[in-house]
Chains A and B, each alone.
Chain A
């Protein structure tokens, strides 16, 4: 069932796109990540131009995070104050990211930058998650004593001025720290088409020291608004948002996300984290290999 994408200017198999969305949605429901880190590379592999892939993936992540945000709101799992600071940082970051995107496009280095950023981010975060998940599994099996829980923010965060209280997160820290974190993920959203959940969640836990009960909800809150802002930024600058492609991905992913969420409720969380870590590392490894292998196309043509 082929369908023509009016912005990407090519026809794709609609069922493949819906299936891709469903697969990514399943993972996002299971692990609480947006799944953009999988959508963008897969779309590029399918032959969608990288800019269109990143822009439309950002739109899809918005839809995937909506139902999660509502669910977390119902059980008071969102620190709106912290979320608002993150969103402000994220919107500023996405504007800066749009400028960076154009600059890199002019230099012809956007594809390489996207690939290297993916490898560094996914590689480091995947390793962190892997280590954490393995030790959690060992603890659960009783092979090792649980490490003492310490929930403290990073010393650098404590050194920042203008402290304020974030009650739901149980923190008294400077808003500059979440602002910078939001700014950084905003850049990632524009460049990579990812929500940035896989960066936000560890940073919230290990850098800011937020209460874990509000971490996922607040990260989804920030992702919802920042990916929506990123869609607007792409729509007005690169004009690469393909609404037909986004709709196909969405139909699959919103359904997949619900299925994934039910599955996650039954599975053991440390094994889920282990699976996510392995998958993240596989994606990073695949992209890293792609950088070193001789590419099929030495020459790339772009309109100027």
Chain B
């Protein structure tokens, strides 16, 4: 092999490291409309990794993809039950200014094999690295306890979850993942963040927005209940009186 070829082989990895790869993400649905039959949605998140050379650099460990889908943040109060005089009652509470209403993480490999705790904390990767901002002052151990409580509660409700291995990589340049959105999510703007990770470092990141909103009749009902509460209440009463009366008449005749 000539000296020039040797030199090229040595320099090539440096060149690719300097001009970073770029992520081109997309999502199957930019808008999710909640209609009467809404039982949740399944998002297909897919995209390509554009390497400067046009293909995944040979000889290196393949990069990994992590996708985080987050729901709109909410200001919440967490209450903790304790046994007082033989019964379980809400005793302690902690308020948070912003907590995600939904958090799903899909990755091509388990998160523990990809990044260290510090990187996880910076990018909020993983359910144990969520950065919630408590609005009430409380000692760190109490805050941790409530945060764990919140995560566990939402995990059981299907609103928070991690899916290691859910991202499929094709030839190291194409990726795809399915993320299930349960019916209980609040409406609002969701974000899908995609991270390209290699050797414990985040090489590239990109974000796509997804809007979830009520449509048609569901939007009408929700808006009516908020804006025309008196008419809405009257409609509910009228409906129940009419149905009750109609059943009574029908039964009498029958």
Q: Which residues of A does B touch, CB under 8 Å?
A: 2-4, 6-7, 9-11, 59-60, 62-68, 70-71, 108-109, 111-112, 116, 228, 231-232, 234-236, 239, 241, 243-244, 246-247, 250-251, 254-255, 257-258, 261, 291-304
- How many angstroms from the CA of A255 to the CA of B243 in the assembled complex? 10
Query: Which residues of chain B from 81 to 96 have a CB within 8 Å of any chain A CB?
Result: 81, 83, 86-90, 93, 95
Min CB distance A124 to B, Å, is 18
Among B81, B153, B221, max chain A CB count under 10 A is at B81
Contact A299 B79 (CB under 8 A): yes
Q: Does B164 contact A (CB under 8 A)?
A: no
Contacts A241-B233, A247-B239; is A254 near B244 (CB within 8 Å)?
Answer: yes
Q: Does B53 contact A (CB under 8 A)?
A: no
- How many angstroms from the CA of A9 to the CA of B95 in the assembled complex? 22
Of the candidates A116, A232, A304, the one whose C-beta lies within 8 Å of that of B237 is A232
Contacts A67-B245, A67-B247, A299-B153; is A109 near B218 (CB within 8 Å)?
Answer: no
Please classify the interface of chain A as helix (H, G, I), strand (E, B), loop, or mixed, using the class held by over half of its residues: helix
Query: Looking across the interface, which residue of chain A has its beta carbon closest to that of B34?
Result: A4
Contact B221 A11 (CB under 8 A): no
Contact A66 B244 (CB under 8 A): yes
**Could you say which residues of chain B place their CB within 8 Å of the CB of A254?**
243-244, 246-248
11 contacts between A and B (CB under 8 A): A2-B37, A2-B183, A62-B244, A231-B236, A241-B232, A244-B221, A254-B243, A258-B251, A298-B80, A300-B90, A301-B76
Min CB distance B254 to A, Å, is 8
Contact B93 A108 (CB under 8 A): yes
Contact B80 A63 (CB under 8 A): no
Contact with A along B36-63 (1 / 0, CB 8 A): 1111100000000000000000000000
Q: Does B140 contact A (CB under 8 A)?
A: no
**Could you say which residues of chain A place their CB within 8 Å of the CB of B239?**
59, 63, 243, 246-247, 250
**Could you say which residues of chain A place their CB within 8 Å of the CB of B40?**
11
**Could you say which residues of chain B place their CB within 8 Å of the CB of A298?**
80-81, 149
- How many angstroms from the CA of A302 to the CA of B219 in the assembled complex? 22
Of the candidates B146, B184, B241, the one whose C-beta lies within 8 Å of that of A62 is B241
Q: Does B234 contact A (CB under 8 A)?
A: yes
Min CB distance A73 to B, Å, is 11
Contact B237 A236 (CB under 8 A): no
Query: Which residues of chain B from 78 to 122 have a CB within 8 Å of any chain A CB?
Result: 78-81, 83, 86-90, 93, 95
Q: Which A-B residue pairs are the 7 nearest by beta carbons?
A: A67-B248, A235-B233, A66-B244, A299-B149, A63-B240, A254-B247, A63-B244
Contact B90 A232 (CB under 8 A): no
Contact A11 B244 (CB under 8 A): no
Contact A4 B241 (CB under 8 A): no
- How many angstroms from the CA of A298 to the CA of B241 in the assembled complex? 40
**Could you say which residues of chain B place their CB within 8 Å of the CB of A108?**
77, 79, 90, 93
Contact A231 B248 (CB under 8 A): no
- How many angstroms from the CA of A106 to the CA of B218 in the assembled complex? 29
Contact B237 A62 (CB under 8 A): yes
Of the candidates A258, A294, A304, the one whose C-beta lies within 8 Å of that of B77 is A304
Contact A250 B244 (CB under 8 A): yes
Min CB distance A34 to B, Å, is 11
Q: Does B75 contact A (CB under 8 A)?
A: yes
- For the A-B complex with A63-B243, A243-B235 known, give 13 more contacts whose Cβ atoms are closer than 8 Å: A11-B37, A112-B88, A228-B241, A232-B233, A234-B233, A235-B233, A243-B225, A246-B239, A254-B243, A291-B88, A296-B156, A303-B77, A304-B95
**Could you say which residues of chain B place their CB within 8 Å of the CB of A291?**
86-88
- How many angstroms from the CA of A304 to the CA of B76 in the assembled complex? 5
- How many angstroms from the CA of A63 to the CA of B248 in the assembled complex? 10
Min CB distance B240 to A, Å, is 3
Among A64, A71, A261, A301, max chain B CB count under 10 A is at A301
